[in-house]
């Protein structure tokens, strides 16, 4: 969990290479830029929290390929995307 740590900048491309990662909590920081289509590489992801940052752009369609993703809190107006099995 990296919530509320005042982290800033863009997400490093190496983050999207952590294919065994199951939980990623980055909410309430100062991240900016776009969420890469590389998010689709996180094939074991179960929880993904990106809200309350300064991301821009669209939510990559590749996020739909994350078959284990249960609930995701994404950055755009605190949308909650529920993906079901």
Structure confidence by residue, pLDDT tens digits, 16-30: 999 999 999 988 899
- The Cα-based distances of 2 to 29, 30, 58 in angstroms read 8, 11, 23
State the average pLDDT over residues 67-73.
77
Domains, the chain, in order of start with CATH, read 8-82 (3.80.10.10)
**57 is written with which tokens?**
């752009």
Residues above pLDDT 90, as percent of the chain: 36
Please report which confidence band the pLDDT of residue 54 belongs to, taking 50, 70 and 90 as the band edges: confident
- Per residue in 34-47, pLDDT tens? 889 999 999 999 98
Pairing of the two strands 8-9 and 30-33? parallel
């Amino acid at each position: 969990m990296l919530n509320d740590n005042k982290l800033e900048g863009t997400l490093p491309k190496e983050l999207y290479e952590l294919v065994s990662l199951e939980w990623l909590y980055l909410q309430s920081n100062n991240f900016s830029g776009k969420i890469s289509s590389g998010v689709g590489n996180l094939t074991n992801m179960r929880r993904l929290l990106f809200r309350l940052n300064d991301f821009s752009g669209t939510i990559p369609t590749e996020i739909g390929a994350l078959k284990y993703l249960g609930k995701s809190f994404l950055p755009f107006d605190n949308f909650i995307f529920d993906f079901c099995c």
